Amino acid sequence: MADKVLITMEDLEAAVRANAAFEGAGYRTTMVSALDDLRSAIRRADPDLILLSGGLREAGLARGLADVATTHTATLGLAEGTDTDPADLAHRLGLSGVLLKPASADEVVAVGRRLIERRKLQVRTGILGEHPGIQEVLIKIEQMAPVSSTVLVQGESGTGKELVAKAIHDLSPRRGKPFIAVNCAAIPESLLESELFGHEKGSFTGAAERRLGMFELADGGTIFLDEIGEMALPTQVKVLRVLEEREFFRVGGTAPIKVDVRVVAATNRSLREAMETGHVRADLYYRLNVLSIYLPPLRERKSDVPLLVRHFSREFARLHDRPFHGINPEAMRLLMEAPWPGNVRQLRNLVESMVVLAPEGEIRASDIPREIREAGRRNLPVLVPGAVQTIQGQELQYIVQSLLDLRLQVEDLRRRLDDVPQRVEVIDVGHRGASGGSGGEVFVGRVQTPGTPATGSPLRDFTPMYDAEPRPAEVVVYEQGMKMADVERAAIAAALRASRGNRRKAAETLGIGERTLYRKLKEYHLDEDAGS
Ligand SMILES: Nc1ncnc2c1ncn2[C@@H]1O[C@H](COP(=O)(O)OP(=O)(O)OP(=O)(O)O)[C@@H](O)[C@H]1O
Ligand SMILES: [Mg+2]
């Protein structure tokens, strides 16, 4: 089906010329008198591109556009020839592109076509943003995807490194083959080699069977080595060998194994610094750094905040089946000012909680946690006695900010719980005992989501449930004869279910480190079916 273009008529002559050119190029076009009609026109036409033929400096345009912009619609503005800084104007309006008048009709169509294609790429990869930094990332992904070279993705935590790695795979000829992500920081050093390269039967205590490693499992596809800077030096030598020779040995093996695997590596610290301080081998650094992609932190592309907020709020309103009517301008301004040390992940999580908690489905300034509101105005450094020497700068700010966020969210949740008629869930363990064939004492505890107080009482557990709670709490049941290990295994499995397989969240829920969780997953053989 032909792509659709909506053209505003602020500049009638330019609009009519563009209309004819787009039609001639096979697009379906609609003209609207001005921005006022845009909202209903968008609903009717659902365009792939909106062309603003003029009026870019008119007051209220940014607001009007913010109201109507959708993730899959590109926007192109025609600026007056006298405009001195059209790029800045486009940036402030959140436009996908801008052209100076008089632009030829062919040029308008060519740029429009490119913007539409870029938008489709964004929908396909889930990488959103109009900021030049993100556009550059998308261009690089398109260029790098078709070849097999190693790619290094760098950016702070939560900036979308895994999304980029997945996009490279999905747009490459390898897309039908496996994409395997390995978090090098989360797997204990002693296990990482056998995890990556597999092992032969009997090669070490506990190696009862031959096991294939990730490189073998990813054959024909892509392996994503996350947090590569945390990898131990001896393992780095072996990874370098695979990159250079395309072959390796299983742990305890003597025959070289050949694989065709593309490597995408990521790090949230500067890999160059890690090399300079001796944590990463120089030869590996230079081998990895052939093609690289840098993801800018969210605070450096604040103009993308409205687009992301709207996208995430629609996503979560649908997921949690909550009414959602939008976010008011004051609230949006506060979100744009916040420093976002946890980047897009932090913003996404906040939007989820606001969509669930916002009364009457509208996000107002007062719904934004105080710390987020104030952080934008304040320039933290925060002093934590005793911690300053070892943790500094952004890292410290991030930790403190996260703790404050968590506390505020808990407070907020409590306050709202008080206002909501409570539903009490009773778990009658007697029935369960009967069907399970054991009549002994039973203890019911709940796996809590982070921040909620722990509960758990013998025989019965009365936990008020907030109706808007998206997922029911997971229940772990103790029955007579169970060993501590059985209880632990059940708790881990429940936490993983509650976090939908997200190991980081599960570890957080259980109050243990991610490394410990990975060890236990292996120990209890839960890692075979749990995703990460
Ligand atoms: N540009 C973006 N558009 C939409 N969603 C994004 C974007 N960047 C990140 N996200 C979302 O933010 C979350 C974090 O992204 P991702 O896991 O890729 O980050 P990361 O850089 O790998 O973080 P970490 O270093 O902590 O592993 C995900 O839910 C992802 O979908
Ligand atoms: Mg990641």
Smallest-distance ligand from the CA of 181? 2
Spacing, Cα 342 to ligand 1 middle (Å): 10
Indicate the SS3 state at residue 283.
helix
- What tokens does 447 get? 């796996």
Q: Once rounded to an integer, what is the mean pLDDT over residues 236-259?
A: 93
Q: How far apart are CA 455 and CA 446, in angstroms?
A: 6
462 band by pLDDT with thresholds 50, 70 and 90? very low
Radius of gyration of the chain (CA): 27
Q: What's the distance, Cα to Cα, between the start and end of the chain in Å?
A: 38
Spacing, Cα 345 to ligand 2 middle (Å): 10
Smallest-distance ligand from the CA of 164? 1
pLDDT in tens, 72-94: 889 999 998 888 888 888 877 87
Question: Mutate which of 163, 184, 264 to test ligand 1's pocket (most atoms within 8 Å of Cβ)?
Answer: 163
The predicted pLDDT at position 159 comes to 96
Which atom of ligand 1 is closest in space to residue 155's alpha carbon? 21
User: Which of 222-236, 262-276, 400-414, 510-524 is least confident?
Assistant: 400-414
Spacing, Cα 149 to ligand 2 middle (Å): 20
Spacing, Cα 174 to ligand 2 middle (Å): 21
Whether residue 388 is predicted with pLDDT greater than 50 in this model: the reply is no
Q: Do 239 and 196 touch, CB atoms closer than 8 A?
A: yes
pLDDT in tens, 118-166: 899 998 999 999 888 999 999 999 999 999 999 999 999 999 999 999 9
Spacing, Cα 161 to ligand 2 middle (Å): 6
Smallest-distance ligand from the CA of 167? 1
**Residue 24 burial (CB < 10 Å; 0-12/13-18/19+)?**
exposed
Which atom of ligand 1 is closest in space to residue 122's alpha carbon? 3
Sheet holding 456-458, edge to edge: 456-458, 443-447, 474-478
User: Which of 20-29, 39-48, 215-224 is least confident?
Assistant: 39-48
The predicted pLDDT at position 383 comes to 38
Q: How far is CA 145 from CA 43, 166, 353, in A?
A: 35, 10, 35
Higher model confidence: residue 169 or residue 304?
A: 169
**Residue 522 burial (CB < 10 Å; 0-12/13-18/19+)?**
middle
Q: What are phi and psi of 346, to 5 degrees?
A: -65, -40
What is the 8-class DSSP label of residue 126? Answer: -
- What tokens does 264 get? 């995408």
What is the 8-class DSSP label of residue 152? Answer: E
Q: Do 76 and 98 touch, CB atoms closer than 8 A?
A: yes
CA quadruple 481, 486, 487, 490: dihedral positive or negative? negative
Spacing, Cα 485 to ligand 2 middle (Å): 30
How many residues are there in the chain? Answer: 532
Whether residue 516 is predicted with pLDDT greater than 80 in this model: the reply is yes
Q: Once rounded to an integer, what is the mean pLDDT over residues 347-376?
A: 84
Query: Measured from the CB, is residue 144 less than 6 Å from ligand 1?
Result: no
Q: For the chain, how are helix, strand and coil distributed in percent, rounded to 5?
A: 45, 15, 35
Smallest-distance ligand from the CA of 160? 1
The predicted pLDDT at position 520 comes to 87
CA quadruple 316, 320, 321, 325: dihedral positive or negative? negative
Spacing, Cα 254 to ligand 1 middle (Å): 40
Q: Do 401 and 380 touch, CB atoms closer than 8 A?
A: yes
Whether residue 463 is predicted with pLDDT greater than 80 in this model: the reply is no
Whether residue 13 is predicted with pLDDT greater than 80 in this model: the reply is yes
Query: Measured from the CB, is residue 127 less than 6 Å from ligand 1?
Result: yes
Look at the block and give the residue holding tokens 């407070």.
411
Residue-averaged pLDDT of the chain? 80
Q: How far apart are CA 424 and CA 436, in angstroms?
A: 25
Which atom of ligand 1 is closest in space to residue 128's alpha carbon? 3
Question: Mutate which of 313, 345, 349 to test ligand 1's pocket (most atoms within 8 Å of Cβ)?
Answer: 345
The predicted pLDDT at position 148 comes to 93
396 band by pLDDT with thresholds 50, 70 and 90? low
Q: How far is CA 467 from CA 348, 357, 362, 446, 472, in A?
A: 22, 11, 18, 17, 10
Indicate the SS3 state at residue 303.
helix
- What tokens does 285 get? 């650094």
Higher model confidence: residue 223 or residue 355?
A: 223
Q: What are phi and psi of 408, to 5 degrees?
A: -65, -40
Whether residue 188 is predicted with pLDDT greater than 90 in this model: the reply is no
Query: Measured from the CB, is residue 183 less than 6 Å from ligand 1?
Result: no
Helix (H) or strand (E) holding 28: strand 28-32
Smallest-distance ligand from the CA of 133? 1
Closest to 99 (Cα-Cα) out of 88, 87, 115: 87
Look at the block and give the residue holding tokens 């719980």.
417
Query: Measured from the CB, is residue 93 less than 6 Å from ligand 1?
Result: no
Whether residue 416 is predicted with pLDDT greater than 70 in this model: the reply is no
pTM over 0.75: no
The predicted pLDDT at position 314 comes to 85
- What tokens does 32 get? 């609207």
Spacing, Cα 163 to ligand 1 middle (Å): 6
The predicted pLDDT at position 474 comes to 62
